[in-house]
Amino acid sequence: MHDPTPATRRPLEGLRVIDLTRALAGPYATLLLAGLGAQVIKVEDPRGGDLARENSPYVGRDGVTVERGHSDDVSISHLSRARGKMGVSLNFKAPGARAIFQDLCRDADIVVENFTAGTADRLGVGYQAAREANPRIIYCSLSGFGADDAEGGKAMDVIIQALSGAMYTSGDPDAPPVRMGIPVADMLAPVFGVIGILSALEQRHRTGHGQHVDVSMLGALTSFVAIENWSALAAAGMPARTGLTVQRLSPFGVFECADGYVAIVAVHEKLARGLFQAMGAPELSDDPRFASRDARVANAPVLEAHITAWSRNLPTADVVRLLEAQGVPAAPVRHPEEALSDPRVMARAETMPIAHPSYPHRSELRTSGIPIRFSDAETGFDPTLPISVGEHNHQIYRELLGYDDARIAELRAAGVI
């Protein structure tokens, strides 16, 4: 069923993932594994499946809609996150579910789950159950505060953004903190989960056995925040949040234009001269307030006012063009839709189109790709997607595990699958 030719087509070809995840953090981890070539079998509760299936907006025969209008409308979240995965149904709370889970693990390499800490064990689908069936299994748990969190705290992205310090670091010094618009806490934990899984695979080549990999959303995002050495900045009298510009690097930051905003980096001498040229004010290079890096930092507010007085009267595109002509790094602050359609990004499949399988022409949607290019491998998704819960039960339970039709019918009738 999964026999790529040549064997090198995608880097993770031949690996099988049992995917117990739901919402965003977990499914993003298995999405990356699928895009890198692993076979992913998504396991969903027969009574409704992944809650992300209920996320508005939907797409279907009427295009994109806020409410589900037809039974075959699909949440765009599900369409995006379940790409390349196969889907089976299994009610973990039903009698016999643990043994079926173990059957799935027996010939698999990886399990991923993102239940609240402790839940997978309680449901009988934790690391112990998987290892009993297959000591080579690599079992990855993603949770809010780590698998050892006794309180079993609920972790949503905004909660983790608040706790990690990430939210505090963004925005003006005297204004409220800023929630990042991209769910960075939800997305970072799975990325580190994949690093953990692949590291454990490398170790398995040496030792022959698998292990438990445990990533915390709070820990993943806090480790990112920690690269900045905040206590040292504080000890040196430097503020933790500086808004759109960073005055200790002046001129550096985001400036207003007539129709938007522009990011400018002119930290070094040559770049500052280029900026003054672009502004049509080369004489500023000789102004003692701006003639050296230290002077520019000391007079940052005045310098920033000069820049804004120039940039706010021009279209963003003109400001960027004038700066680039002088070799000064500059970029427009783009709307996400424009960013997702950047020709460079599309050419490298870092974003990619998705469509409802039955109504591909009713909407134009782009979503995340795999932002890694290999010289001797491809990335990308098999054209498989569990539109309905249990869509691939026959392929997996009948063909892969060898359950006979009578048993499958019985499991279905009993609500186990």
User: φ, ψ for residue 192 (rounded to 5)?
Assistant: -70, -30
Region for residue 23 given its phi and psi (left: phi exceeds 0; alpha: psi -120 to 50; beta: otherwise): left
Single out the segment in contact with a copy of itself by CB under 8 A; choices: 98-106, 117-125, 183-191, 274-282: 183-191
The single residue among 96, 118, 177, 380 that binds a copy of itself, judged by CB under 8 A, is 177
Tokens for 161, please give them. Answer: 């953004």
Work out whether 167 is an interface residue with a copy of itself (CB under 8 A): yes
CB of residue 260 vs a copy of itself: minimum separation in angstroms?
9
Range 91-130, binding a copy of itself (CB under 8 A)? 127
Contacts of 310 (CB under 8 A, 6+ apart): 279, 280, 281
Q: How far is the CB of 179 from a copy of itself (least distance, A)?
A: 6
> Phi and psi of 367, rounded to 5°?
-140, -175
Count of residues in contact with a copy of itself, rule CB under 8 A: 146
Among 351, 356, 384, 396, binds a copy of itself (CB under 8 A): 351
Q: How far from each other are the two terminal CA atoms of the chain, in whole angstroms? A: 22
From the number of C-beta atoms within 10 Å of its C-beta (0-12, 13-18, 19+), residue 44 rates as: buried
Q: Is 260 left (phi over 0), alpha (psi -120 to 50) or beta?
A: left
Q: Is 3 buried (19+), middle (13-18) or exposed (0-12) by CB count in 10 A?
A: exposed
The total of other beta-carbon atoms located within 10 Å of residue 214's CB is 19
Using the contact rule CB under 8 A, the part of the chain among 118-126, 248-256, 274-282, 407-415 near a copy of itself is: 248-256
Active-site residue (options: 73, 157, 186, 214): 186
Which of 94, 96, 224, 401 contacts a copy of itself by CB under 8 A? 224
Among 233, 305, 317, 409, binds a copy of itself (CB under 8 A): 233
What x-and-dash track marks residues 51-80 binding a copy of itself by CB under 8 A? Answer: -----xx-x---xxxx---------xx--x
Select the residue interacting with a copy of itself from 184, 278, 300, 385 (CB under 8 A). 184
d(CA 115, CA 23): 10
- On whether the CB atoms of residues 15 and 37 are closer than 8 A, the answer is yes
* 223 makes contact with a copy of itself (CB under 8 A): yes
Look up 72 and say whether it is catalytic: no
User: Could you say which of 11, 96, 118, 152 contacts a copy of itself (CB under 8 A)?
Assistant: 11
Q: Which of 3, 174, 202, 286 binds a copy of itself (CB under 8 A)?
A: 202
Give min distance, CB of 211 to a copy of itself, in A: 4
- Applying CB under 8 A, the span of 40-48, 94-102, 257-265, 387-395 interacting with a copy of itself comes to 257-265
DSSP state of 118: T
DSSP 209-265: ---EEEEEHHHHHHHHHGGG-HHHHHHTT--S--TTB-GGGSSEEEEE-SSSEEEEE
Q: Does 344 bind a copy of itself (CB under 8 A)?
A: yes
- Is residue 387 at the binding interface for a copy of itself, with CB under 8 A as the rule? no
The sign of the torsion formed by the CA atoms of 90, 95, 98, 102 equals negative
* CB 403, min distance to a copy of itself, A: 30
The residue behind tokens 């430097």 is 238
| Contact with a copy of itself (CB under 8 A) among 20, 21, 22, 28 | 28
CB of 302 to a copy of itself, least distance (A): 20
DSSP state of 208: S
Tell me how far, at minimum, the Cβ of 416 lies from a copy of itself, in Å.
28
* Residue 245 one-letter amino acid: T
In the window 299-338, what residues touch a copy of itself (CB under 8 A)? Answer: 329-338
Q: Which is nearer to a copy of itself, 37 or 390 (CB)?
A: 37
Candidate residues 89, 161, 277, 299; the one interacting with a copy of itself per rule CB under 8 A: 161
Which positions are catalytic? 186
